[in-house]
Amino acid sequence: MAAMLDLTKIRKSYLPVRLPDNTVVNVGTPQKHMYEEFVRIDPILKGLSDDSIEDTNEALDILYSYVALILSNNKEQREISEEFVRDELQMEGALMVTYAFADFLNAKKAAEAKN
- Classify residue 2: in a domain, yes or no: no
Q: What is the DSSP letter of 73?
A: S
Convert the pLDDT of each residue in 39-95 to its tens digit.
888 887 777 767 666 777 888 898 999 999 999 999 999 999 999 999 999 999 999
The residue segments making up the domain with residue 93 are 27-107
| 109 vs 88, more confident | 88
- Classify residue 115: in a domain, yes or no: no
Candidate ranges 24-28, 33-37, 47-51, 60-64; pick with highest mean pLDDT:
24-28
- Classify residue 5: in a domain, yes or no: no
What does the alpha-carbon distance between residue 66 and residue 80 come to, in Å, rounded to a whole number?
Answer: 11
Query: How many folded domains does the chain comprise?
Result: 1
Question: Is the per-residue pLDDT at 115 higher than 60?
Answer: no
- Classify residue 36: in a domain, yes or no: yes
Name every residue whose Cβ is closer than 8 Å to that of residue 70 and which is 6 or more positions away in sequence. 27, 30, 34, 97, 98, 101
Secondary structure tally for the chain: helices H, strands E: 4, 2
- Classify residue 7: in a domain, yes or no: no
Integer CA distances (angstroms), 1 to 5, 39, 46, in order: 12, 43, 52
What pTM was estimated for this model as a whole?
A: 0.81
